[in-house]
Structures are given as structure tokens and as C-alpha cells.
Structure 1
Amino acid sequence: MRYPPAETAEKHQRILDEASKLFRERGFSGVSVSELMEATGLTHGPFYNHFASKQALMEACIQHIAAKAIAELEAVPSSERGKAEFFAAYLSTEHRDAPGAGCLSASLGPECSREAGLRQAFTEYVRNIISTSARHLPWKGKRSARSQAIHSMAAMVGAIVLARGVSDDELSEEILNEVRRSLE
């Protein structure tokens, strides 16, 4: 049975959205195709009408998350206040506690480094975030905007990874606060 193109596109989008969330929450190996399809309300069979393999879905999810991240960054007001609010939101307990809706780098970066087939898509994401940040946000100081964008990204991603990883809430919040202050 063939479905109308709009319905097929909606299902494809639903799979991407749900997979992007679940992969960020549990990692690539922590989600099976069956679980994913169940979470979307679809059966296992149609998965292969949308993606050739789980690996293809993983790459598509990186591109999907990346496109949303670039759009969100470009929506940040290009001002000191906009940059400060963006950093504060990123380095918040809300972001720390919601990996399924959060940053691709903090959730899946280490996994992408071990998945040769995903490294190119992840590399493009990182390049685009750095160049968009360098171009869009206001940067001051002696170092180039690109250098400051790289430093900020590395500090923020590292802070979220550490804050999520420790079992001490007070230490977790201290990590987020200290990195936020260092970027002011």
C-alpha cells in the first residue's frame, strides 16, 4: 500500500525527531530500531522505506539536529546581551537535565568520534557552529572571533559533559556557573 507523499514525509520527520531525541538521551547503541519505531507509533517494517540502515538514520539525525542548532544560533540576537543569554541557557541546569532536547556535541560527540561513518557529518556540524558563532555573535578582545568561538564551544560542551557526569548536584551547578562566568 502506497501512502500519499505528505504522509510519508510526516512519518519520515517523526522518525527523525524521535530518533534525534532518543539518541541524545541514550546514545546510538542504546536505542534499537524496534524501540525507535515503537516510540514513533509505527511498526518496524516501514523503517527501511525511510532509511537504508540504522547507520544512515544516525547520520541523518546528526544533520537534522545540526540544522536546528544552526537555526537556533542564528535566532540569537547579535548583541552582548543575546550572547550572554545564549551562554546562560546553554550552561543551565535545564539544559543539563534534558539531553534529549540538548546539544548534539555534549550528547553524542564522543560517540561520533568512535563511529567512522558519522565523523564527516559531525565535522560539518562543528565547522558550521564555529563559523556561525564567529560571524553572528559579538566578540571582543585580541583573539580572532573564530578563536573565541572555538574556545567558547569547547568550554560549554565540556561543562555540560562534566555537569551531567558527576553525581554531586552542587559540584554540577558549580561547574556550570564557573564556566558561564569565565565566558562573560
Structure 2
Amino acid sequence: MPRITKEDKARNRQNILEAAGRMFRSQGIDAVGIAELMKEAGLTHGGFYNHFASKNDLAMEVCGASFAASLGSLARAVEEGPSEAGSPLERVVAGYLSTAHRDAEDGGCPSASLVTDAGRHTDAVQSAYAEGVEGYLAGFSAEFLREAEEKGQRPDPDEARRRAVRLLSELVGGLMLARAVRHVRPELSDEILRAGRDGALG
């Protein structure tokens, strides 16, 4: 039987992480069994523990990796600066509270798709989630401060932080509400998204 190379092992581990990311965000951590997960990753059930000590350890890594990818999108929007589609934060809001994000099969951003799971799981998973939330707050705050400077106003870090907390709360809450009613009241779901897009930045 051929030996698995380090490269193969690393690739298998990444396949598990990616499959778990999609499944945890779309179905919830507790709803996904290890056997089902490994099948989705194209691997055998028994191979799971060659890569992760427990499902909880995997959930912690998935939470961190999912936020890293999501925060990368925020960083790219900020780096691109204002465009015809609006300021970086206006584009973030439009994308977050969009029908495409609401209906994303992979669950989309972990801030909304893993929020309930994080509250029910271990401190390690909550810590990974909290770190992701802090990443969003830091990014939003920095952009609010930059906008204030651009307008010739005196930047207020405390106010920028408060605005960042409000913005993230409105984004996550709006998306969760829109998802909760989309099948039985699609018009209400769309209304929630529109109102959120119109009012999120005050």
C-alpha cells in the first residue's frame, strides 16, 4: 500500500476544512456528522482523526478560516476605495444584505451563518467567532475613521467603534431575519434586505 506523502496529507486536511466550512455554515455544526463530512471531502470516515483531535477542534478551525476569507473580502473592498458602486462600506452592505448572500448554498459569511452555533458551543469555538467579530469591528472602525478624516472631521475612535458594532449587528440581524422567512414570506424577506441596505449606514 503506497504511503501518503506530506503533500497528500496537507491536501486531504484542506479538503476536510473546506467541506466542513460549507456544511457547517449551511447546515449548522451539530447537524453534520463526521461520516457525512468525510464523504463530502472524498475521504474515508476513519481518516478524520489523522487530521483533527475532535469535531470541536475542526469547528474552531473552520470558524477561524471562514472569517479569514470573509475579512479578506472586506479588506479588498477597502483597498479598492470608492467606486461608482459607492464607498467600500456601502458596497459591503449591499453585498451582505443581498438576495445572493441570503440564498447562498454554502451559508455565506460566518458572522450570520455560525452565530447560533457559536453561542451553543465550547469556549474555543466562541473564541474563534469572537476573533472574527473583532476583525469586522476593526475593519469597520478604521473605515469610519478614514471617512471622517476625508470629510475634514475630527476622528473619534470611540464613536467609530460604536458605529461599527451597530453596523455589524444590523447586518447580521437583518440577514438572519431575511433567511428565517424567505420561503414562506419572500416579499417580507426582500423588504428586510431593502430596509437594511437603505438604513445600515444611517
- Bin the TM-score by the shorter chain: over 0.9
Q: Alpha-carbon deviations, 1:7-40, whole Å to 9, x = none?
A: 1111111111110000011101110000000011
Q: How many pairs were matched up?
A: 184
4+ runs of 1 displaced by more than 6 Å? none
Using the alignment, how far apart are the partners of 2:147 and 2:115 within structure 1? 25
Higher Rg = 2
Select 1:156's aligned residue among 159, 168, 171: 171
Q: What corresponds to 1:168 in structure 2? A: 185
Equivalent residues in 2 for 1:1-184, closer than 5 Å: 2-76=3-77, 77-79=80-82, 80-98=86-104, 100-117=106-123, 118-136=125-143, 138-140=146-148, 144-166=159-181, 167-184=184-201
CA contact (8 A) 2:67 2:109 kept: no
Give the fraction of aligned pairs with identical amino acids, expressed as a percent.
35
What TM-score do you get using the length of structure 2 for normalisation? 0.85
Using the alignment, how far apart are the partners of 1:5 and 1:78 within structure 2? 41
CA contact (8 A) 1:99 1:107 kept: no
Residue 71 of structure 1: how far off its partner (Å):
1.1
CA contact (8 A) 1:96 1:164 kept: yes
Aligned letter for 1:98? A
Using the alignment, how far apart are the partners of 2:105 and 2:140 within structure 1? 21
What TM-score do you get using the length of structure 1 for normalisation? 0.92
SS across alignment from 1:178? helix
Aligned letter for 2:5? P
Name the Cα RMSD after superposition.
Answer: 1.8
Q: Alpha-carbon deviations, 1:125-152, whole Å to 9, x = none?
A: 1111111221146545887222111111
Using the alignment, how far apart are the partners of 1:50 and 1:120 within structure 2? 21
Aligned letter for 1:104? P
**Worse-matched range after superposition: 131-140 or 103-112:** 131-140
The higher relative CO (CA closer than 8 Å, separation ≥ 6) is in 1
* Structure 2 runs not aligned, ≥5 long: none
**Worse-matched range after superposition: 136-145 or 81-90:** 136-145
Residue 103 of structure 1: how far off its partner (Å):
1.2
Change in Cα spacing, 1:176 to 1:139, as seen in structure 2 (3 Å) is farther
